[in-house]
Amino acid sequence: MTAGFDYLVFHAVAILPVVAALAFLARYRLGTRRDVLAGTLVLAGLALVYTTPWDSYLITRGVWWYGDGAVLVRFRAVPLGEYLFFLFQPLLVALWAARFPVETARPLSVPLPERALGLLGAGVVAAAGLALLGSDSGLYLGSLLVWSAPILAIQWAFGWPFLLSEWRTVLAGTLVPTLYLWVVDRAAIEVGLWTLSERYTTGAVVPLLGLPIEEAVFFLLTSLFVVQGLVLYVWLVDRVRAAEHRRPLAMLFGGRDS
C-alpha cells in the first residue's frame, strides 16, 4: 500500500531534481537556448494533448492501476501526476539532449521516395501493433505501437535521412534518459505506486532490470519522440532562418528577379 500524494512525491524525488540539475548544468549545443526551449514547449504541449486520450483509455480498461492513496486528484480517469509527467518527461529528455550538437546545414528537401520509406517504417510499427491487439495480452503493447505510429510517420517522413546522419546525437540523447526512466519506473512498480495487469500485458520483461517490456518500450519511444522532434525542429528553424537571410542579400545583389 502507498501513502497519499505518493505520485506527486515520485515527481518530487525522482523527476524534478533531475530536471533542475539538467537545467542548471544545461549546455545548448543542439541549438540556441531559445530554440531548444521553444521546441521543448511545443513538444510538451503536443505530448499532453496526444497522450491523454490513449492513457485515459488504458486506465479505464484496467491495463494498470494505482496504489491505495497514491492518487487524490483525477481528470477524466487520469491522475494529476500523469499529466505532470507528460510535461516533465519532454523537459528532462530535451535538457539532456540539448548538450549534443547537430549539423543543420543539410537542405530540408527530401526526395519523395525517401519520405515514402519513412512512412513505410511507421507502417510496419503500426502493423505490428495491430497484430498484437488480436489478443488481450497484447493490448498495452499493441495499442502503444499503434499510438506511436502516427508520430513516427510524421518525424520519419519529414527527415529520417537527417536523423540518420545525426545518429550519435539521437542515440545519446535518447538512451541515457530512457535508462534512467526505466530504473525509476521499476522502483515505482516495486513499491506499488502502479501495477500492470497480467491479463493485458505480455509478461515479457527487460533482462536484469525486470521491467515489463511494455513500460520499457513506452519510455524508449517517448524519449525518442522528444529527441527526434527537437532535432528536426532545430534543423527546420535553422534552415528557415538561413533562407530568410539569403533572400534580402539576393535582392540586394541580384535584383528582385534573381
Residue 257 is predicted with a pLDDT of 45
pLDDT digits (tens, 9 = 90+) for 156-174: 999 999 999 999 999 999 9
Residue 22 is predicted with a pLDDT of 97
Instruction: Inform me whether the pLDDT recorded for 70 exceeds 70.
Output: yes
Task: Locate the DSSP E strands across 74-199.
Answer: 74-75, 78-79, 194-196
Coil, strand or helix at 22: helix
Residue 256 is predicted with a pLDDT of 47
Angle (CA) 55-220-147 rounded to 5° is 40
Q: What is the pTM of this model?
A: 0.92
Q: How far apart are CA 116 and CA 103, in angstroms?
A: 24
Span between the terminal Cα atoms of the chain, in Å: 72
Q: Name the residue ranges covered by the structural domains of the chain.
A: 6-254
For residue 30, what is the enclosing H or E element? none
Least confident among 3-17, 42-56, 101-115, 154-168: 3-17
Calculate mean pLDDT across residues 54-67. 96
